[in-house]
Amino acid sequence: MKKIIIGNWKMNPPTLKEAEQLFSVLAKGASSSKKTEIVICPPFVYLEKLSKIRTSKIKLGAQDAFYEEVGAFTGEISGEMLDNLRVKYVILGHSERRALGETNEMVNQKIKAVLAAGLIPILCVGETARDESHDYFNLVKIQLEECLAGVKKTFISKIIIAYEPVWAISTTPNRKDATSADSLEMAIFFKKILSDKFGREASRGRIIYGGSVSGKDAGDFLQNGGVDGLLPGRASLDAKKFVEIIKICEVLSK
C-alpha cells in the first residue's frame, strides 16, 4: 500500500489567487513523485477552482462534510456535493472542530455519510494532554469506538485514521514535540482496538500521524512511528516544506 501525505490547509490562504498559486507550485513539486499518495485539503470555497488545475499527482480532500444528504441545514455541505467536485477525501473529527462542539456521535454520523457518498474519511483522534495515569489511552479508545460505531467491517479498510495529539499541534500554546515512539505506541494500540472490533479486515486500513510534522522529523515518523503516512498542517502551506516531506516519503518508499 502506498504511503499517504495529506496537507490540511485549515482556513488558509486568505485569497483564491494565493490558493491557486500555492496549489500550482505544489503540483509542480509533486510531479515526479511515484510512490506517494498526495492529498490537499483546502477550504471548501477553493475546491472547485483547484480541481481544474491539472495534476495527476495531487488529489483533493475537504475539511468536513455534513451527515445529511440534502435539505434545510444552513451552512452545511454534503458528501455528494463534494463528490460532484471530484473530492476524494474528507477530514472528520479534527480537534479544531471538536473544540467548537463536534462530538464523537456527530463524527460517527459523518463517517457513515461520507462512506455512503463513496468518499474516504480521514478520522482524526488524539488526546488534548497526557496525564501521568495514562488515562489518555482510554480517551482515544473511546474516540475510536464511538466514531466507528456501527461502521460495517467491509468499510474499515477505506478509513484513514490520523493520530493527532493536540498537545503537539503547531498552534497549541506551550506545545511539545511528539516523538516517533509516541506515534508507534499509539499506532500499535489503535491496531489492537481495530482488530478487536473489525477482525482481520482492520489490518488493511491506514494509520497516519499529524502534529507539527516537518522535513526534520517526517522521515523518523515514517520509519519508526508505525504509520503509513503524515498529516501536516502548517508545513502544507509552504510549498518548499511540503514538497520536502513528499520527497522524504518517496525515498523511504523505494
Per CB under 6 A, residues contacting ligand PEP are 8, 164, 169-170, 210-213, 231-235
Cβ-based neighbours of 162, under 8 Å, separated by 6 or more: 6, 91, 122, 123, 124, 125, 126, 207, 208, 209, 210, 231
Strand, coil or helix: 2: coil
Shortest CB 223 distance to ligand PEP, Å: 19
List, as one string, the DSSP characters of 199-243: GGGGGGSEEEE-SS--TTTHHHHHHHS--SEE--SGGGGSHHHHH
Shortest CB 198 distance to ligand PEP, Å: 25
By Cβ distance, which residue is nearest to ligand PEP? 233
Shortest CB 114 distance to ligand PEP, Å: 18
| Neighbour-count burial of 119, counting CB atoms closer than 10 A to its CB (0-12 exposed, 13-18 middle, 19+ buried) | buried
Q: Which is nearer to ligand PEP, 37 or 96 (CB)?
A: 96
The one catalytic residue in 37, 94, 96, 127 is 94
Q: Which is nearer to ligand PEP, 79 or 233 (CB)?
A: 233
Q: Which is nearer to ligand PEP, 30 or 169 (CB)?
A: 169
Shortest CB 157 distance to ligand PEP, Å: 23
Q: What is the distance between the alpha carbons of residues 62 and 10, in angstroms, rounded to a whole number?
A: 10
Shortest CB 71 distance to ligand PEP, Å: 30
- Judge whether 164 counts as a catalytic residue: yes
**Cell (9 digits) for 191:** 491496531
The amino acid at 206 = R
Q: Which is nearer to ligand PEP, 156 or 213 (CB)?
A: 213
Pairing type for strands 89-92 and 229-230 reads: unpaired
- Judge whether 146 counts as a catalytic residue: no
Nearest to 61 by CA among 72, 76, 46: 46
Q: Which is nearer to ligand PEP, 42 or 210 (CB)?
A: 210
The one catalytic residue in 76, 127, 164, 250 is 164
Question: Which residues are designated catalytic?
Answer: 94, 164
